[in-house]
Amino acid sequence: MSVNIAANLKLINDKIRDAEKRAGRPEGSVKLMAVSKFHPSEDVLSAIEAGQFLFGENRVQEAFEKFPPIIEAHPDTELHMIGVLQSNKVKNAVKVGSCIESVDRLSLLDEIEKQCAKIDKKIKVLFEFHTGEESKSGFESQEELEEALTAIKDGKYPHVIPSGFMTMAPFTEDKNRVRKSFVMLRELAQRMKEKYPDFEMNELSMGMSGDFEIAIEEGSTLVRVGTAIFGERDYSK
């Protein structure tokens, strides 16, 4: 089935602007990331043609094959890595990405620092926090997260720029549980910003195709939308 990517982007952008308005938030306070995993380069290029420049991928190998030529041809393009990241994939992840949204353990920072130092690149990171029962990824406790933030504050990771937080809500029809997960991330972010005022951790990456409007009501600054832009993913590929 063919998908009209430009029309979908317009629709989602309109819904984002409406949700901002309903929530009493300034227009443009929420950014849209187009999650292009499992979709080919041509789809990414269609999105770029329609004015979309921020993308997300969750598999390093796929991103590393797809994005360097696209970024070379369209230097305004930005890619965030949003999936569970194994340490042996960090090298390519920091080469192709401008932000790692899925930092879920202290040891990952060691590897990010090491690989970024090698190529003399500073990289933004978001701390993924576990807020929903079904999803498995993310820091499990505030203590672990504080350990990471304190280590950055102490100068252990000079190439790492802590920029905010990310979560995935549980996959459920129960909107209250989805909302609770977003509220939990917002409140955590607030506590961390008070405790670590030197860092500008203003990014709240939350909301996907099925729940981005709730996420915007609860303070999201960045929604990660795949299916509603590019159509269903074909996992058999």
Question: How far is it, in rounded angstroms, from Cα 207 to Cα 114?
Answer: 31
Report the residue number, 90 or 159, with the smaller CB distance to ligand PLP. Answer: 90
Q: Least distance to ligand PLP from the beta carbon of 103, Å?
A: 13
Secondary structure in 3-state letters for 33-53: EEECCCCCHHHHHHHHHCCCC
Element (H, E) at 7: helix 5-22
Identify residues 58-117 at the interface with ligand PLP (CB under 6 A). Answer: 58, 82-83
Report the residue number, 159 or 208, with the smaller CB distance to ligand PLP. Answer: 208
Amino acid at 85: L
217: left (phi over 0), alpha (psi -120 to 50) or beta: alpha
Question: How far is it, in rounded angstroms, from Cα 211 to Cα 185?
Answer: 15
Q: Least distance to ligand PLP from the beta carbon of 217, Å?
A: 17
Q: Does 178 bind ligand PLP (CB under 6 A)?
A: no
Amino acid at 32: L
> Which of 119-127, 173-181, 190-198, 203-211 is the region at the interface with ligand PLP (rule: CB under 6 A)?
203-211
Q: Least distance to ligand PLP from the beta carbon of 150, Å?
A: 26
Binding site for ligand PLP (CB under 6 A): 35, 37, 58, 82-83, 168, 208-210, 224-228
